[in-house]
């Protein structure tokens, strides 16, 4: 006999890439099907320590520039250049409202928008455990290049360590 699957809390973990935005439609579909709420979750990478020696390849100033570029690209990716200077939390709030307007024919509820600092894998796992999340939804592509080669994909590391189901949305490069 198969267990009755109940999904009431969905964690949509985003690295703010286009791939992650595409995965959001899957979170919406699940929320509608199960009458669940979605928490939109992003972690700002605050410490180079998780990169196992990235500072041996670049200096601290370049590391700070990479972090700033990440924030700038996140803003542009989600809300466009016309709203520059908006903190990440506000960017995600605006993204959430824009998404609701795009899915008017398929309403869904967002529980909250959460922005943390640290290691994305650790933060996703910690938050999902502390908040009794039923499923994590995330895109399959992220930083790419050097970062993925050195530490592995965030999504794949979450899959390996998560105690709850993870829906990994594979999106082809365009």
CATH number at residue 98: 3.40.50.620
Answer whether residue 95 is part of any domain: yes
Task: Report the distance separating Cα 17 and Cα 15, nearest Å.
Answer: 6
Rg (CA), the chain: 16
Rounded-to-integer distance, Cα 60 and Cα 63, Å: 5
The total number of structural domains that make up the chain: 1
The lowest-confidence range among 44-53, 93-102, 134-143, 163-172 is 44-53
Which is more confident, 5 or 67?
5
CA distances from 135 to 59, 64, 82, 105, 127 (A): 38, 33, 34, 24, 12
pTM of the predicted structure, to 2 decimals: 0.69
Evaluate if residue 128 carries a pLDDT over 90. yes
pLDDT averaged over every residue in the chain: 75
3-state secondary structure of 9: strand
Q: For residue 79, name the pLDDT band (cuts at 50, 70, 90).
A: very low
Q: How far apart are CA 136 and CA 165, in angstroms?
A: 7
Considering the domain boundaries, does residue 3 fall inside one?
A: no
Q: What is the pLDDT of residue 66?
A: 66
- Judge whether 163 lies within some domain: yes
In a domain, 18, yes or no: yes
Domain that includes residue 58, residue range: 9-169
Contact 15, 120 (CB under 8 A): yes
Q: How confident is the model at residue 125 (pLDDT cuts 50, 70, 90)?
A: very high
Residue 117 included in any domain: yes
pLDDT band at 144 (very low <50, low <70, confident <90, very high): low
Q: Is the dihedral of CA 120, 121, 127, 132 positive or negative?
A: positive
pLDDT band for 1, please (50, 70, 90 cuts): confident
* Residue position matching structure tokens 């999904």: 7
Q: Tokens 């964690």 label which residue?
A: 11
Orientation angle between helical segments 154-161 and 120-130, nearest 10 degrees: 40
Task: Identify the residue with better confidence: 161 or 60.
Answer: 161
- What does the pLDDT read at residue 131? 97
Q: Is residue 174 part of a domain?
A: no
Return the pLDDT at 77: 53
Given a contact cutoff of 8 angstroms between Cβ atoms, the answer to whether 161 and 152 are in contact is no
Domain membership of residue 1 (yes or no) is no
pLDDT at 162: 96
Residue 4 lies in a domain: no
First to last CA, the chain: 42
User: How many other CB atoms sit within 10 Å of the CB of residue 85?
Assistant: 6
Task: Compute the average pLDDT of residues 130-147.
Answer: 77
């Amino acid at each position: 006999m198969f267990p009755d699957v109940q999904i009431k809390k969905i964690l949509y973990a985003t690295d703010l890439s286009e791939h992650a935005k595409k995965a959001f439609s899957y979170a919406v579909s699940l929320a509608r099907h199960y009458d669940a709420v979605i928490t939109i979750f992003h972690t700002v990478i605050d410490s180079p320590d998780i990169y196992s020696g990235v500072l041996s390849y670049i200096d601290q100033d370049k590391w700070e520039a990479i972090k700033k570029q990440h924030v700038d690209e996140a803003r542009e990716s989600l809300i466009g250049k016309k709203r520059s200077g908006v903190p990440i939390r506000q960017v995600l709030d605006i993204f959430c409202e824009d998404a609701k307007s795009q899915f008017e024919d398929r309403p869904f509820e967002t529980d909250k928008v959460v922005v943390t600092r640290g290691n994305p894998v650790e933060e996703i796992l910690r938050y999902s455990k502390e908040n009794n999340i039923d499923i994590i939804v995330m895109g399959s592509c992220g930083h790419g290049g050097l970062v993925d080669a050195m530490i592995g994909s965030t999504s794949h590391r979450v899959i390996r360590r998560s105690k709850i189901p993870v829906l990994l949305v594979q999106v082809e490069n365009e």
